[in-house]
Amino acid sequence: MPLFRCPSRECVLNSKMSMVLFASVLRVGDGLPLSASTDYEQDKGLQETKKHVKALSKKLGQFPDRCALKTGQYNINFTSSLGLGYLMVCTENYPNVLAFCFLDELQREFIITYDNKRVNSAVRPYSFIEFDNFLQKTKQRYNSPRSLSTKINLANMQTELKLRPTYQLSPEDLGSINNFSYRTASKYKGIAPSQQLEPVCLPGVVSCVLSILCGGLNLLRGVHAIESVMQNDDHEDFNYVIAFFLGTAACLYQCYLFAYFSVWRNSKSFLAFALICLSNMYLYELRNVWQILFHVTVGAFTTLQIRLRQPQGKAPDYNV
């Protein structure tokens, strides 16, 4: 078994192996990632490097079409053409010419597989998920050079590299990017772009606390209702249990909606509010008017606060 076949983290760290660790394809215009290799390495240095990758992705259009950046023990290599960027992270001792071939191969395959229209119409990150496979396979091939059949081109590539050397990005080029990278790191972790909500305000916090209180009250009464079901075996009591618990769920769900961004957030909060109203209507006999008024008012107040706390701008991820 050749040494370089071992992709585990220990190997990367322990031996001075040369390997490709990560690859991705992105749209140069806005830095939207289209496809990426899966990687399992949790190495800290690599995570740092990927922050640079994300930050650089967004500025790709401002750099020459072939550029590179050295970060710690890893290299980041980019090429871009026809509005698409191809990027890889490899160990610092990975052969230059192979890195170049690797990117070239990605580029050729991507161009023949997808047309411009498809690229331009992509809205969500990583929507070319079928290409991940190719990235992964190519990465593996380039990590076991014995199985590599591109040797014939190496001479050509070497010449090409000599004639038109890669532009080395310097820390100055990164300047503004650097701070930026830490702020936007982890934005692309999920499949969907995560959006940040506006900062919380005092009324919002109050509404959330009141909601939790209402949820707690519902829960308490629900538990009591369970006890009386056990004692009386009464069907109506059982319905009360459900109504109380639904009320609890709706209150807590509203808190969640207030705290985090999700799609259809406003509609969901209305539904939760409707559920609060319904459960209180059903529980009419068990509560006095003031209690019901309190629950419904808190529900309405929280719904309003959810509505008022909007995402910060639209998709802050890729407005370059």
Ligand X SMILES: *[C@@H]1O[C@H](CO)[C@@H](O)[C@H](O)[C@H]1NC(C)=O
Q: Which residues contact 73 (CB under 8 A, 6 or more apart)?
A: 45, 91, 92
Q: Which of 155, 56, 45 is nearest to 100 (CA)?
A: 155
Q: Per residue in 174-192, is it b (16+ CB within 10 Å) or e — as a string?
A: beebeebbeebbebbeeee
What span, in angstroms and rounded, lies between the C-alpha atoms of 305 and 310? Answer: 9
Q: Which of 204, 307, 202, 313 is nearest to 265 (CA)?
A: 307
12: region left, alpha or beta (phi > 0 left; psi from -120 to 50 alpha): alpha
Does 56 interact with ligand X (rule: CB under 6 A)?
no
Does 168 interact with ligand X (rule: CB under 6 A)?
yes
Q: How far is the CB of 213 from ligand X (least distance, A)?
A: 57
CB-nearer residue toward ligand X: 156 or 310? 156
Does 99 interact with ligand X (rule: CB under 6 A)?
yes
239 three-state secondary structure: helix
Ranked by CB distance to ligand X, the top (closest) residue is 68
197 three-state secondary structure: strand
Does 60 interact with ligand X (rule: CB under 6 A)?
no
Does 37 interact with ligand X (rule: CB under 6 A)?
no
CB-nearer residue toward ligand X: 161 or 219? 161
Q: How far is the CB of 106 from ligand X (least distance, A)?
A: 13
Task: Candidates 10-18, 105-113, 160-168, 257-265: pick the segment binding ligand X (CB under 6 A).
Answer: 160-168
Among 35, 37, 49, 75, binds ligand X (CB under 6 A): 75
Q: How far is the CB of 124 from ligand X (least distance, A)?
A: 29
Among 35, 49, 77, 138, binds ligand X (CB under 6 A): 77
Does 159 interact with ligand X (rule: CB under 6 A)?
no
Does 239 interact with ligand X (rule: CB under 6 A)?
no
CA distances, 111 to each of 85, 131, 199, 209 (Å)? 11, 11, 42, 54
Q: How far is the CB of 120 from ligand X (least distance, A)?
A: 27
Q: Which residues contact 197 (CB under 8 A, 6 or more apart)?
A: 259, 260, 261, 309, 310, 311, 312
Q: How far is the CB of 260 from ligand X (least distance, A)?
A: 39
Task: Candidates 95-103, 127-135, 146-154, 259-267: pick the segment binding ligand X (CB under 6 A).
Answer: 95-103
Does 81 interact with ligand X (rule: CB under 6 A)?
no
Residue 66, φ and ψ in degrees, nearest 5: -130, 115
CB 96 within 8 A of CB 73: no
Contact residues toward ligand X (CB under 6 A) are 66, 68-70, 75, 77, 96, 99-100, 161, 166, 168
